[in-house]
Amino acid sequence: MTRDVGGDTSGDAGRGTPSRPLAGSGVALHRAYDTALLDLDGVVYTGGEAVPHAVEALAGARAEGMAAAYVTNNASRTPAAVADHLTRLGVAAGPEEVVTSAQAVARLIAEAVPAGARVLCAGGEGLRVALRERGLVPVESADEDPAAVVQGYGGPEMPWGRLVEAALAVNRGVPWFASNLDATIPTPRGPAPGNGAAVEVVRIASGGTRRPTAAGKPLPPMHRETILRTGARRPLVVGDRLDTDIEGARSAGSSP
């Protein structure tokens, strides 16, 4: 199996013209790279269903000795829940092979606030668990004196009140973090508002002058988290979005 290497995505490439021609690889992927860093939504699955041929391709790569890590900007679920979903689809995966933007932003926050600090969490269970794993205490009100506020995708059922509390805290000057800034998230029915859309709500409601410190793809904290957790030395990034997966790979020096 070989791969094509995409052209530079800057300059003329932004207008659809690659700055260099596509180049083939004469080396099998499992020999050229030690770990595949795979996006999930739109790459391995869409909604509750596997992307066609993804299960077979991943099984083949694993059989050839290539490690896999499942790297997602979706902060709503825990790694254990994601691994269970993958297993039900036929992809052999454990929680230790899943890396989420919730884990990446929790590390950033833990490096910025005292141990055991309260963090106002406007997100789902995946974000709350990641904060607890870093010794932080998730809270839900701006009146609980949080040392930081963090936003992460919480799914369509996340209460609007959590955005209200986040906006109040941000307006009071509390340090502000976001798991990622994706404006949309893919669903079987089409694109839906992502965490970036929720971040914009808080930004506007808090005066519009501040922006959060974000961790997810394409920013460096997500790549750092992935490498720290996987130990990958020659990673191959597999994704479906130029603005997150591929841009993140190129900025980090990995192969997309």
Per-residue pLDDT reduced to its tens digit, 132-165: 999 999 999 999 999 999 999 999 999 999 999 9
Co-location of 118 and 78 in the same domain: no
* 4 flagged as catalytic: no
Co-location of 136 and 34 in the same domain: no
Q: For residue 254, is pLDDT > 80?
A: no
Co-location of 128 and 151 in the same domain: yes
For residue 117, give the CATH number of its domain: 3.40.50.1000
Co-location of 32 and 61 in the same domain: yes
Q: For residue 119, is pLDDT > 90?
A: yes
Q: 146: which residues sit within 8 A by CB, 6+ positions away? A: 117, 118, 119, 120, 139, 169, 174
> pTM (2 decimals)?
0.84
Co-location of 94 and 40 in the same domain: yes
Q: What is the longest distance spanned by two Cα atoms in the chain? A: 60
H-type alpha helices, 45-186 = 54-63, 79-89, 101-112, 125-133, 160-171
Co-location of 96 and 107 in the same domain: no
Q: Considering Cα of 111, then 40, then 138, then 95, what sign does the dihedral take?
A: negative
What is the share, in percent, of the chain residues with pLDDT greater than 90? 71
SS3 150: strand
Q: 23: which residues sit within 8 A by CB, 6+ positions away? A: 4, 5
Q: How confident is the model at residue 25 (pLDDT cuts 50, 70, 90)?
A: low
| Confidence at residue 253, expressed as pLDDT on a 0 to 100 scale | 62
Q: For residue 4, is pLDDT > 90?
A: no
Q: Which of the following is catalytic: 4, 8, 41, 84?
A: 41
Co-location of 154 and 197 in the same domain: yes
Give per-residue pLDDT as tens, 31-61.
778 899 999 988 999 878 899 999 999 999 9
Region 190-214 average pLDDT: 96
Co-location of 92 and 109 in the same domain: no
Give per-residue pLDDT as tens, 222-242.
999 999 999 988 888 988 877
Higher pLDDT pick, 76 / 245: 76
Q: Which of the following is catalytic: 8, 34, 39, 143?
A: 39
Region 162-172 average pLDDT: 98
Q: How confident is the model at residue 2 (pLDDT cuts 50, 70, 90)?
A: very low
Co-location of 108 and 194 in the same domain: yes
Co-location of 94 and 140 in the same domain: no
Co-location of 159 and 138 in the same domain: yes
| Average pLDDT, rounded, for the chain | 87
* 41 flagged as catalytic: yes
| Confidence at residue 13, expressed as pLDDT on a 0 to 100 scale | 36
Q: For residue 76, is pLDDT > 60?
A: yes
Range of the domain at 200: 102-214
| Confidence at residue 144, expressed as pLDDT on a 0 to 100 scale | 98
Tokens at 42, concatenated: 């739109």
Burial of 16 (0-12, 13-18, 19+ CB in 10 A): exposed
Domains of the chain: total: 2
Query: In this structure, are residues 75 and 206 in contact, taking their beta carbons and an 8 Å threshold?
Result: no
Q: Measured between alpha carbons, how far is 69 from 226 in angstroms, rounded to an integer?
A: 8
Co-location of 66 and 78 in the same domain: yes
| DSSP-derived pairing of the beta strands 49-50 and 45-46 | antiparallel
